[in-house]
Amino acid sequence: AVDAFSGFGGLTQGIELAGFDVIMAANHNEYKVRVHEANHPNAEHWIADLVNREASDYHSARDLPTADLFTAGISCVNHSQANTQKAYEEGLTLFDLEDAEYEARVTRSERDRATAICVLQYAAQHHPRVMLIECTTEFASWGQLVPGKRKVGDGSTYRWWLKQLGLLGYNHKVLYLNSMFFGVGQSRDRGYWVFWDKKLPAPDLDHRPESWCEKCQTIVQAVWSWKTGVPPTGSVRYG
């Protein structure tokens, strides 16, 4: 497995507990890489900015080694579909585009966070058998900003992103999970996007956490469902 944007190594630890050997971990923050290296000494570590080509430690996601599993804890803001598509098709990052309107609308820090493109770049170059992408649930709203709502997009870029991965030969499933379901002492909602090669059978991703049923007055195996569906903001919370 290769873990991009590896942070302090929580996702890496989960991957290893699932039986994978993490051969590479990358992050642009030197301190986080040193902590990760102390916790996972068997992996190769890169202090690498996978987004900003102007950075002295820039590496394309294509430069990462080939692995069976690619994982990435991405973070995204609302970039336009046109700019994102152009950057991907031309092998660029959002730093390389010259767009006066775009420059007026977004900040440099927002470009830094356009990490979902790295997933496409890695998949196109290496085609791992499985990919696990983690982000806030709001990732589903990634797209052109909705007028009057500063942080809410229309989901157009997100849908384009999923389509590109389909064209690269992947099926996928989206999981909305809370850290409490796995014995963690905090409530944190996250989305997990699982992609697998279309030649492979669909993995069993069913997760039914133990929950209290008021009607039955007993513990049951819960099934996650939505009363109203996922809202346009992508913001979904346990409860």
What pLDDT digit, counting tens, does each position of 75-130 carry? 755 445 555 566 666 665 555 555 544 444 454 444 544 688 889 999 999 999 99
Q: Give, for 72, the enclosing helix (H) or strand (E).
A: strand 69-73
In this structure, of 50-54, 112-116, 182-186, the range with the lowest mean pLDDT score is 112-116
Q: Where is pLDDT greater, at 55 or 85?
A: 55
pTM attached to this predicted model: 0.82
Q: Where residue 201 falls among pLDDT bands split at 50, 70, 90?
A: very high
Please give the pLDDT value at position 82.
52
The beta strands (E) that lie in the chain are given as 2-4, 24-27, 44-47, 69-73, 130-135, 170-178, 189-197, 210-213, 218-221
DSSP one-letter code for 202: P
- Percentage of the chain lying above the pLDDT 70 cut: 81
**CB-CB contact of 94 with 83 (8 Å):** yes
Cα distance between residue 117 and residue 35, in whole Å: 26
